[in-house]
Amino acid sequence: MRIRPKRLERGDTIGIVAPSSPPNQESLQRSLAFLEQLGLKWRFGKHVNNVNGYLAGSDDERLQDLEEMFADPSIAGIICAGGGYGSARYTDQLDLQLIKENPKIFWGFSDITFLHTAIGLYSNLVTFHGPMLASCVGKDTFHELSAKMFQQLFEPMELHYTEDISPLTSLQGGVAQGEIVGGNLSLLTNTIGTKFEIDTKDKLLFIEDVGEEPYRVDGMLNQLRMAGKLADAAGFVIGDFSEAEPKAGRGTLTLDEVFRNYMGGLGKPVVEGFKIGHCEPHFAIPLGVLAKLDADKKTLTILPGVE
């Protein structure tokens, strides 16, 4: 079992880092009021304001911010300002032993998937796939349920996802349980052939993405199929695939057809429609904890992520 980080308490200090692209600074500042409501203090990484093209500073600067926040005993948890692109550029330089020796809450999604996967594999730490400060919390669209999901950081709580939250579709029936792993499909595909390759053996594989047409999703799932990752998995949790409409005038399969093609014939439970990903509300989940997917009842149960 993975290490579950210590829960947060009111008065704790959160480290804020930008591991990927430059966050919108105005939105980031607006998000701080929410941290105050949670009773948290915060400290910015030294390079959160840096801009280096499509990156939030150099690779060394973003790496330094991340490692310093894990090493600092006064920082109780780390929440990413935003995603975008770039976390994989320095993951092979990241001191994963340092993270293992200083386990704490690490929260983000999208491009942060590469870091989640690496930390899960080599630091054996439960991390959190949840809405980030500048890209979600600081926006007018931030949903009440998204805000409520942060409460799982303050006390161990079992999460229950049912159709009360959103309509779900079972593409293949059955029940499976195992550690829930995954995240952004593009980033999971990028791990293949690296030392950070996603391990799906007997696990529930969760996927989501944004701005990818069905043929692109098809290609990524095919790569996971050929790498044995779909056959290895115990079941599939399909999150939000927003802005996935094909370009006008181009013949296409639907996303449903793509998912059925790759997962429907494996004899393992497959459920789609979870509001997890680039969406509001965004149902935040811990990665690396035991979960149970019931495709017949269309429910997902996830054990607590904090100690």
Q: What is the pLDDT of residues 225-245, one digit of tens each?
A: 999 999 999 999 999 999 988
Give the span between the Cα atoms of 24 and 35, in whole angstroms.
Answer: 17
Amino acid 185 reads: L
Q: Is-catalytic flag, 36?
A: no
At 272, the pLDDT band (50, 70, 90 cuts) reads very high
Catalytic residue among 47, 116, 129, 278: 278
Bridge-based pairing of strands 285-287 and 175-184 is: unpaired
Q: Is-catalytic flag, 67?
A: no
Whole-number pLDDT of residue 250? 80
Q: Where in the chain is the domain with CATH 3.40.50.10740?
A: 13-153
The CATH superfamily holding the domain 159-302 is LD-carboxypeptidase A C-terminal domain-like (3.50.30.60)
Bridge-based pairing of strands 270-272 and 235-242 is: parallel
What order do you get walking across the sheet with 299-302 strand by strand? Answer: 159-161, 299-302, 290-294, 175-184, 204-210, 235-242, 270-272, 169-172
Whole-number pLDDT of residue 84? 97
23-81 pLDDT, tens digit each = 999 999 999 999 999 999 999 999 999 999 999 999 999 999 999 999 999 999 999 99
Whole-number pLDDT of residue 249? 74
The mean per-residue pLDDT over the stretch 115-122 comes to 98
Q: Where in the chain is the domain with CATH 3.50.30.60?
A: 159-302
Give the span between the Cα atoms of 40 and 34, in whole angstroms.
Answer: 9
Instruction: Name the H helices within 123-193.
Output: 144-148, 185-191
Whole-number pLDDT of residue 1? 86
Q: Is the pLDDT of residue 246 over 90?
A: no
Q: Is the pLDDT of residue 175 over 80?
A: yes
The mean per-residue pLDDT over the stretch 116-130 comes to 98
The CATH superfamily holding the domain 13-153 is Murein tetrapeptidase LD-carboxypeptidase, N-terminal domain (3.40.50.10740)
Q: Is the pLDDT of residue 104 over 90?
A: yes
Whole-number pLDDT of residue 248? 76
Residues 6+ apart with CB under 8 A from 260: 171
If one compares 305 and 247, the residue with the highest pLDDT of the two is 305
User: For 30, what's the count of Cα atoms within 13 Å in the CB-facing half-sphere?
Assistant: 15
The mean per-residue pLDDT over the stretch 79-103 comes to 98
Whole-number pLDDT of residue 245? 87
Whole-number pLDDT of residue 78? 98
Nearest to 182, CA basis, from 104, 123, 234: 234
Catalytic residue among 21, 27, 110, 135: 110
Q: How many CB atoms lie within 10 A of CB 165?
A: 16
Question: Number of H helices and number of E strands within the chain?
Answer: 9, 14
Instruction: Report the chain's mean pLDDT, rounded to a whole number.
Output: 97
181-227 pLDDT, tens digit each = 999 999 999 999 999 999 999 999 999 999 999 999 999 999 999 99
What pTM, to 2 d.p., does this model score? Answer: 0.97
Catalytic residue among 208, 212, 272, 282: 208
The mean per-residue pLDDT over the stretch 275-285 comes to 98
Q: Is-catalytic flag, 129?
A: no
Question: Torsion-angle region of residue 34: left (phi > 0), alpha (psi -120 to 50) or beta?
Answer: alpha
End-to-end CA distance of the chain: 13
Whole-number pLDDT of residue 14? 98
Pair of tokens at residue 50: 């840096």
Give the span between the Cα atoms of 64 and 48, in whole angstroms.
Answer: 11
Bridge-based pairing of strands 105-108 and 169-172 is: unpaired
